[in-house]
Structure 1
Amino acid sequence: MIENLSSRLSTQRRHRAAPLLKEREQYLAHLLQIGWSAHRVLEVATYLVHIVRMMELVSLRCVETAEIEQAGVRWANDEGAERVGKRPETSPVHFAKFARQWLRFLGVLNLPCRPTGCFDVQVAEFKDALEVRRLASTTINTYVTRTENFLRWLSARRSDLSLVSVYDVDDFLASKRDARVHLLTISGHCIALRAFFRFAEEQGWSPPGIWRGIVGPRIPMYTEPPAGPSWVDVRRLIRSTQGKTSRDLRTRALLLLCAIYGLRVSEVARLRLEDFNWRSETFSVLRSKRGGVQQFPIQYEVGEAILDYLRYGRPRCACRHLFLTAQLPYRPLSKGAICSVVQRQFNRLGIQSKHRGPHSLRHACATRLLTKGSSLKEIADFLGHRSTQCVAIYARYDRRSLRKVAAFSLAEIL
């Protein structure tokens, strides 16, 4: 194994002489199999030699995270014969990271137990119920997180849900207002808690009627214009990605999908190679909120950008997702990574916009469709909204365009 990573005889001897050779080589083979480069695997192999030495691992045994951290500090300060050069301040962090990953792979790492709450069982059942309703994963996580937030606060005053009243919920929301939490966030807490207490009432956990008494704050609608960039700035964004590097090709395809079709970041992240039918020049999108699959024609520039990325920018690997990371191990590009790519482009060009992520391009797309004469119903359908209420804000700030509502031709827009 080590011969394939390093040709230096001293490195090979040191690797073979250290304890747990079989276990270390098993882990290194795993890293190579999932796509790590030989250079990175050699770095891990070097760390593993130091790990077994500093932790005195002559045989497999269970290890606590505190022991790993202590060994990392000792290794950073070690002045023995194994020391080569001056180690940076981050050395203990890297030592601990590689040790945890290796020992977790072997199944001998004792992770600290997460403190159990009074209402963990109820939260788990609530999450299962949300999944049965086939809500979006983001919605489920938000509901569960906000419910856990409330129940952690509640556990200091109540030990059972049967003792809860609507006044407890009011006190919790008041604490949020006192902490200057945004009204939209408080409203989101109310929505999540209404869903939870409605479920709790059905299960017989809480007194009836609590969910009816949870009233969110009044939030004025349409007080601010849409938070997206102007279409001129959108075109600047797209023109700025004329480079030929793999990252430029990926960024251009991402920006076009978000701006031309107004896709949500989760919908972009889920796109797969088989979603594109190049023969019929269409592609399919699994909608995040209303569910179902929506089909779009592939606009020429978007199609060319995606094909350029597939031919010259996308890594060759077995993963079927459209957008992948640029570095090994290749894996689907996460929603957070997509947001970072778009935000970086905004910042590089100095574009002034209240929001600078993929969702701001969705706002720009909606505004563009309205200025071209599309009706609110057509915009709502195009963007995957359940009703026209979600897009009414664009009409509030572009009344003249509403008078131009006419037959909608997607080809003219795209």
Structure 2
Amino acid sequence: MGWLDEPEHKHHPHHAEIVIFERWLRQERGLSNATVQAYCAAADHFFFWSAGKGVALNAIQMTDIDDVIAAERKRGVWKRRSIHDYAQRLRAFFLFAETRGWCRAGLAAGIIAPRFMADETVPKGLGREDVLRLLASVVGDRAVDKRDRAILTLLIAYGLRAGEVRGLQLDDLDWENEMLRVRCPKPGRTHLWPLSHEVGHAILGYIREARPSGFGRSLFFAVHAPIRPLGRTALGKMVRDRLAGIGIVSGRRGTHVLRHAAAQHLLDQGMSMKVIGDFLGHRDPSSTAIYAKVNLAALREVAALDLEGLA
């Protein structure tokens, strides 16, 4: 109706170049929305920093790129994986910028991301007790409580990704056959899940008592105006806030921590890696193998193996 004043987004001097880069990523490279946003966010981050230093794109040198990475590393917020991803995305932008003549040649070749071995760290999931405490803490008659409980049951019971939960539609709920259809944007497939009584009860309570009507077929919406489907970061913030409410304020606290917890719970119950991989929607078995590193019982069995004098 033209009554809502959208917040103004801050732009750096090279916003126009980022728009062209974004269009190329979508139309020429065919990358997903999440990937395009990540590449553009890295370039935006760099240009906000360079704008503060008064350095234009055509005057950027390798020392400027080194300085911004060193500054983030000094802050202690980024781990080696974050720096690796940031450097890779910056290199992609400067490769594109060189072809357009926006910057001096050779910058992209000089950006070397730090080494990062896949699966070098142990997944930092929540213990089962903390997961149950989290779910038990979401009680109340407020609309936000009913919505958050429905979301948490989906994350905990099925180990879904945040994007999979945000993408759910009313039509994905088959109440007659007690099935749930989940579109998985990362592997690009659709999965059918049996709709458990606990999850179905939480979702039905939200739909009947808290979900706003007349705004589309999406399942989950913002509670306060403007009423719209949940944004990309909304679920992560909700999980962090709810974890802080039960006293968990350190470590990884986004939605993925509940996915790790779901996988670890299945592993602790003796499920095979193949079953866990199918449960999580992994195409590649190596994506699931990381959870074997924290199966201490299995590691103890290996350590206790009788080598019959071969050792």
TM-score band by shorter chain is 0.7 to 0.9
Aligned to 1:315: 212
One-letter amino acid of the counterpart of residue 251, structure 1: D
Name the amino acid aligned to 2:204: L
Q: CA deviation at 1:338?
A: 3.0
Secondary structure of the 1:284 match is strand
AA in 1 matched with 2:181: S
- Choose which of 117, 139, 149 in structure 1 pairs with 2:35: 139
Displacement of 1:172 in angstroms is 4.2
C-alpha contact (below 8 Å) 1:283/1:296 kept by paired residues: yes
Aligned counterpart in structure 2 of residue 262 of structure 1, from 130, 140, 159: 159
Cα distance change, pair 274–148 in 1 and its aligned pair in 2 (3 A): same
Q: SS at 2:181's partner residue?
A: strand
Corresponding position of 2:17 = 122
Secondary structure of the equivalent of 2:114?
A: coil
Contact between 1:226 and 1:394, CA under 8 Å: does it hold in 2? yes
**Could you say which residue in structure 2 is the equivalent of 1:301?**
198
Q: Calculate the TM-score normalised by the size of structure 1.
A: 0.59
Tell me the CA shift for residue 273 of structure 1: 0.7
Structure-2 residue corresponding to 1:284: 181
Deviations 1:73-97 (A, max 9, x none): xxxxxxxxxxxxxxxxxxxxxxxxx
Q: Is contact 2:12–2:48 with CA below 8 Å preserved after alignment?
A: no
Counterpart of 1:81? none
Work out whether 1:362 is the aligned partner of 2:259. yes
CA 278–201 in structure 1, closer or farther in 2 if over 3 Å, else same: farther
CA contact (8 A) 1:228 1:354 kept: no
Specify the SS of the correspondent of 1:330: coil
Q: Quote the Cα distance in structure 2 between the aligned partners of 1:391 and 1:315.
A: 38
- Check conservation: 1:370, 1:401, Cα contact below 8 A: no
Partner of 2:44: 148
Partner amino acid, structure 1, of 2:231:
S
Quick one: distance in 2 between partners of 1:400 and 1:372? 11
Note closer, same or farther for the CA distance 1:212–1:338 as it changes in structure 2 (3 Å cut). Answer: same
Equivalent residue for 1:19? Answer: none
State whether residues 124 and 260 of structure 2, in contact with CA within 8 Å, keep that contact through their aligned partners in structure 1. Answer: yes
The structure 1 residue matched to 2:133, chosen from 236, 249, 253, is: 236
Which amino acid letter does the alignment assign opposite residue 264 of structure 1?
R
> 2: CA distance between counterparts of 1:176 and 1:239?
38
Does the C-alpha gap of structure 1 residues 113 and 297 become closer, same or farther in structure 2, counting only changes over 3 Å? closer
2:268, 2:234 → 1: CA distance?
A: 31
- The alpha-carbon distance between structure 1 residues 210 and 344, as it changes in their structure 2 partners (threshold 3 A), is closer
Structure 2 portions without partners, runs of 5+: 302-311
Distance of 1:112 and 1:278 partners within structure 2: 42
- What is the rounded CA distance, in whole Å, between the counterparts of 2:269 and 2:144 in structure 1? 32
Which residue type is aligned with residue 43 of structure 2?
T
**Which amino acid counterpart does residue 212 of structure 2 have in structure 1?**
P
Contact 1:222 1:396 in 2 (8 A): no
Residue type at the aligned position of 1:149: H
Relative to the length of structure 2, the TM-score reads 0.76
If asked which structure has higher relative contact order (CA below 8 Å, sep 6+), I would say 2
Larger Rg: 1
Q: What value does the CA root-mean-square deviation take over the aligned residues? A: 3.7
Q: Deviations over 1:196-242 (max 9, x none)?
A: 23434555656776545432223476665432211122123223445
Partner residue, 1:227:
124
SS at match of 2:222: coil
| Aligned match for 2:81, one of 180, 184, 207 | 184
